[in-house]
Chain A
Amino acid sequence: MNKSHEHIVIIGNGISGITTAREVRKKSSQPITVISAESDYFFSRTALMYVYMGHMKFEHIQPYEQFFWQKNNIGLVKALVTKVDTSVKEVQLDNGEPIPYDKLVIASGSKPNTFGWPGQQLKGVMGMYSKQDLEYLEACSPGCKHAVIVGGGLIGIEMAEMLHSRKIGVTFLVREAGFWGSVLPSAESEMINRHIREHHINLKVNTKLVEILADSNNNARAVVTDKGETIECQVVALTAGVTPNIAFLQGSGIELGKGVKVNPFLETNIRDVFAIGDCAEQHEAIDLRKQVEAVWYTGKIMGETLAQTLCGNRTAYDPGPWFNSAKFFDIEYQTYGWVWPTPRENEVQFYWEHPGGKKAIRIAYNKNTRTFLGINCFGIRMRHQFFDKVLREQLTVDTVLQNFEKANFDPELFTTYENDIRAAFQKNHSKLMTANGY
């Protein structure tokens, strides 16, 4: 157990900040203070939708019981950090005395993007990021018959599912040719489009927002699209991505780009100041990742990594092979490694879709070496460990398909499709199916 007395101050009680606090506490008894303006306790941002849909209450999306924080001696402060003064090593709050730090961790997350759309400040127009956003949506819901969602990504489709669950009509404006077209190849995107429509969402692809119209009380009353259409609505959800939430750091001397600039050790340009999670921006991208990674588990890994460093074991951020997951209404999605919407150089893609149109996989591999590059899975669960090993050891697509049974993670008794998938693969990608040790 580390006996240091250095005070660690963490701005943000999201997954990154809280993971840091927990991991440091496992190794050290030094004082830790977590500051957040959003909520008293850590909650799972990813689960906000389920509270709105009535699957859970807010208390259920808080992963730790309230006694946990005191018992583990992690100090929680509810306040907004207005300024960081690195010269005297303290953070200033909107509601109290400044808090001095020895080590400062910035884990302030993101905020929704807005692109200066006319009318974006009207009542009834919102993003979906914070607990307050959810409360605002809750407040707007009773009078809402129809809502328009702008931005065809992960949060947009969650919003569609949320509003639909409350029997609110939804028009979903997507700029690309299909849902999440910037990430998904067109076949998968098309499959999700169908599923969105099956849920009675009015999906409009290749459509952009032009402006939001107001009524006499400054409430949103309609949106106008670039197709010249005017859609009546009471709620407008802007879900076109997020950007790091770092405005309060302007002028602090901490180097900022899109996010807080960090090196692989998650250190900023200022000694004893670190940044992790959604708000951190790597000077240089790690493998094919983005410089700003706004996903749950990277925040978690950064938190774990930084805790090592803070406890005296300076460790670089090494997230390993990429993975992610989501759920589009009823269709689960998992991805391991990289599958691009259009194949890159030397890359071939194999696509299989179940005749029912709700299950699909796409595998990308190198056409020269046949090295497996990545997989998209829809409606079939896959084993993370399997693909982590495949990707780390750079095994071939043939090895993967031979051992495909081992990759399956669907519940017992589910129908399996390995044979269908292999047969389909062999047809156009035959090359080899020899026994080859996994």
Chain B
Amino acid sequence: MDTKTHSLSLANPAPQNMNAMQKLSVAIGLTGLFIFALALFNVQLLFKTAWLYVAIIFILAGILIYSLSTYKKLPPGIQNNGVYFKSISAKGVWGWATGIVLTLLYVFLYWFPQYLGMGKEGNNNTGLVGFFDPLSYFLNGHAASQWFVYGVLYTMAIVGFGFKFLLKYRHNKYQQVRTISVMFFQLGFAFLIPEILTKLNPTIPYFSKDVKNMWPLNYYFFEDWHLKAMLEGGNLGMFILLFGLAMIFIISPVLTYFYGKRWYCSWVCGCGGLAETAGDPFRHLSSKKLNAWKFERWSIHTVLVLIVLTTIAVLYTFLGDPANKTWITKDEFTIGVVIFLSVVIAVIFIFKRKQLDKDVKYTLAALGIIVVGSILINFLSGQKNILFIDSNQLRSWYGFAIGAAFSGVIGVGFYPLMGSRVWCRFGCPMAAILGLQQKLFSRFRITTNGGQCISCGNCSTYCEMGIDVRAYAQKGENIVRSSCVGCGICAAVCPRGVLKLENGDEKDRFNPQAILIEKDKITLAG
């Protein structure tokens, strides 16, 4: 192996010193965080409420000033100088430190919220959670929870770093509009509207009021407590339930057909929103190795099978309980699921068999066999639980392993080590469904511009989903990949104008209309 290969870029390039403004902005932002730290350790502050707002404003101002002092003085264009020289973005000490802090934050959020000050068993909040009480009362009329704190920080991150992203890509309108969109959906749909709706409807039980957060990303949508809450939630509850169903079965398939999965993953989704804004400095860290791709396809489809199973099991139990008043019976539901899944699988196999990779075939087969098979067994044997497993158990495993550990701890905690889309790429069942549709029934593709590719590798390097874009571009082939979230960064960083995200006629999506003579479709191993 060529060891010099690695030393080359690490040969101590000129340090990328911060200018005075940047230093000032970092100091302002850290002051804000420091106030949070004081609150976390229960340091008693006079005018506590005022300090909360001061801290929030300082952090946002810090990010704002940093962004302005970094990008405003440079002519508009791609700003990737030194990405692989900076400790934070090249898995150096700062990268690791950030990864560890983020990971710990998630561990506390999910499993030890009391250390963040969450009051247990009716006790008042203290610490950081208590610090956020005033804002929580103001917005939703309740005391804060660790999730409220998380929601505020999450939204601040998307809005603050979204602003930074807007400046960084101020020459690129696609990036700007897309980023304003994720900022809007996070601030409005994920944060403000649900809080305000909660305040306006103080008596109804809790259910998710974030209409854009759809199943199966929102894996508890069909859980019994959530269904009950929506059913008992009056008009609002009914609206959320119906809208949620419409999202899954109508809105999403239609939009994905016309625009690809990007309409969700990089324009609307909150997980995507964080990845595209706060996660942007880490996007290049995703592995482009063939083995990573192989792993990805198995892991993401496994999660999909798991969530479908869990949801069916939970719904089955829910419907089997005579205490729940619902429109359909357990048996009708079972028949419905069997028919629906059989039709979906049959349509895919009949019309798109040729485009299916092996892992997708196995996934579909697994879904088909497990789901249809076990439903029939249970149906015929009259059991209460599907699959012979207690649905509650299944659900709590899923919640722990996938909902918390995977999407939170690994998904965000590992940003500085594995790139910003670890969850979206390896875990998100929503991405799996949208991806399947994107590959098979969609007008979206990335067009390769004839023979202009110079194999430089910028596109592959900066693809947060770890897609080896160059492998297609240098052959003059279009890119039609289920995992592509349509962020458009590959097209932005390409120095030769080779890539264009487009929606167009389905029939010439794959066409490698290469200008070079490489027209025979024989491929090489690898």
The total of chain A residues at the interface (CB under 8 A) is 75
Q: Take A57-B6, A63-B455, A384-B450 as given contacts and tell me if A25 and B515 are in contact as well, using a CB distance cutoff of 8 Å.
A: no
When distances are taken between beta carbons in the complex, the residues of chain A under 8 Å from B496 are 325-327, 332, 334
Interface stretch of the complex, out of B139-147, B156-164, B325-333, B487-495: B487-495
Determine whether A248 belongs to the interface, using a CB cutoff of 8 Å to chain B.
Answer: no
Interface residue B294 (Cβ < 8 Å from any Cβ of A): no
Which positions 236-264 of chain A face chain B at CB distance < 8 Å?
none
Q: A384-B450, A414-B174 are in contact. Are A139 and B84 (CB under 8 A)?
A: no
CA distance A64 to B488 in the complex (A): 23
- The answer to the question of B172 belonging to the interface, with a C-beta cut-off of 8 Å to chain A, is yes
Is A345's CB within 8 Å of the partner chain B? no
Expressed in whole angstroms, the minimum distance between the Cβ of B58 and any Cβ of chain A is: 30
Q: In B353-387, which residues have CB < 8 Å from any A CB?
A: none
Q: Is B525 an interface residue (CB 8 A)?
A: yes
Q: How far is the CB of B255 from chain A (nearest CB, A)?
A: 15
- Give the one of B11, B76, B460 with max A CB within 10 A: B11
Q: Mark A366-406, 1 if CB is under 8 A from B, else 0.
A: 00000000000000011111001000000000000000000
What separation, in Å, do the CA atoms of A168 and B78 have in the docked complex? 19
Our pick among B451, B471, B513 for the contact of A297 (Cβ within 8 Å) is B451
- Could you tell me the distance in whole angstroms from the C-beta of B71 to the nearest C-beta in chain A? 13
- Contact status B449-A58, CB under 8 Å: no
Please tell me if the beta carbons of B172 and A65 are within 8 angstroms of each other in the complex.
no
Are A65 and B526 interface neighbours, CB within 8 A? Answer: yes
Residues 1-27 of B, flagged 1 when their CB comes within 8 A of A and 0 if not, give 110111011011110000000000000
Task: Give the tally of cross-chain contacts (CB within 8 A).
Answer: 192
Q: In whole angstroms, what is the CA distance A332 to B495 when docked? A: 7
Q: Given A63-B474, A413-B174, is A26 in contact with B522 using a C-beta cutoff of 8 Å? A: yes
The distance from the CB of B259 to the nearest CB of chain A, in whole angstroms, is 10
For the complex, is B70 an interface residue (Cβ under 8 Å from A)?
no
Partner of A388, one of B82, B289, B515, B517: B515
User: What CA separation (Å) do A68 and B526 show in the bound complex?
Assistant: 6
Q: Which residues of B contact A118 (CB under 8 A)?
A: none
- Distance between Cα atoms of A103 and B343 in the complex (Å): 57
Contact B75 A55 (CB under 8 A): no
Partner of B2, one of A41, A168, A411, A414: A41
Interface hub of B174, B449, B491, B500 (most chain A Cβ within 10 A): B449
Q: B68-99: which have CB < 8 Å to A?
A: 75-78, 80-86
- Report Cα–Cα, A323/B449, bound state, in Å: 12
A241: min CB distance to chain B, Å: 18
A40 within 8 A of B: yes
| Nearest chain B CB to A15 CB, angstrom units | 7
Q: Is the CB of A385 within 8 A of B513?
A: yes
Q: A323-B451, A327-B496 are in contact. Are A57 and B2 (CB under 8 A)?
A: no
Q: Is A56 an interface residue (CB 8 A)?
A: yes
Judged by a CB distance under 8 angstroms, whether A138 is at the interface is yes
- Give the residues from 213 to 238 in chain B that come closer than 8 angstroms, CB to CB, to chain A: none
Residues of B within 8 A of A308 (CB): 517
Taking a contact as CB atoms under 8 Å apart, the answer to whether A47 and B526 are in contact is no
Given contacts A41-B2, A415-B173, contact A54 B524 (CB under 8 A): no
Min CB gap A138→B, angstroms: 5
Query: Is B321 an interface residue when CB atoms closer than 8 A count as contact?
Result: no
Shortest distance between the CB of A203 and any CB in chain B (Å): 15
Other-chain residue from B14, B77, B458, B523 in contact with A55 (beta carbon distance below 8 A): B458
Tell me if B456 counts as interface (CB < 8 A to partner A): yes
Contact of A412 with B501 at beta-carbon distance under 8 Å, contacts A63-B471, A301-B516 already known: yes
Q: For the complex, is B121 an interface residue (Cβ under 8 Å from A)?
A: no
Question: What is the chain B residue whose CB lies nearest that of A305?
Answer: B517
- The answer on a CB contact under 8 Å between B82 and A300 is no
Q: Which residues of B contact A326 (CB under 8 A)?
A: 496
Taking CB atoms, residues of chain B closer than 8 Å to A166 are: 13-14
Whether A385 lies near B290 (C-beta < 8 A) is: no
B352 within 8 A of A: no
B502/A412 in contact, CB under 8 A: yes
Interface residues, chain A, CB within 8 Å of chain B? 15, 22-23, 25-27, 39-41, 44, 46-47, 50-51, 53-68, 71-72, 131, 134-135, 138-139, 141-142, 165-168, 195, 198-199, 296-297, 300-301, 304-305, 308, 320, 323, 325-327, 329-330, 332, 334, 381-385, 388, 409-415
Interface residues of chain B, those whose CB is within 8 Å of chain A, are 1-2, 4-6, 8-9, 11-14, 75-78, 80-86, 171-174, 177, 289-290, 447, 449-452, 454-458, 460-461, 470-471, 474, 488, 491-492, 495-497, 500-502, 513, 515-518, 520, 522-526
10 contacts between A and B (CB under 8 A): A44-B456, A55-B83, A55-B461, A59-B5, A63-B470, A68-B524, A165-B81, A323-B450, A334-B452, A410-B500
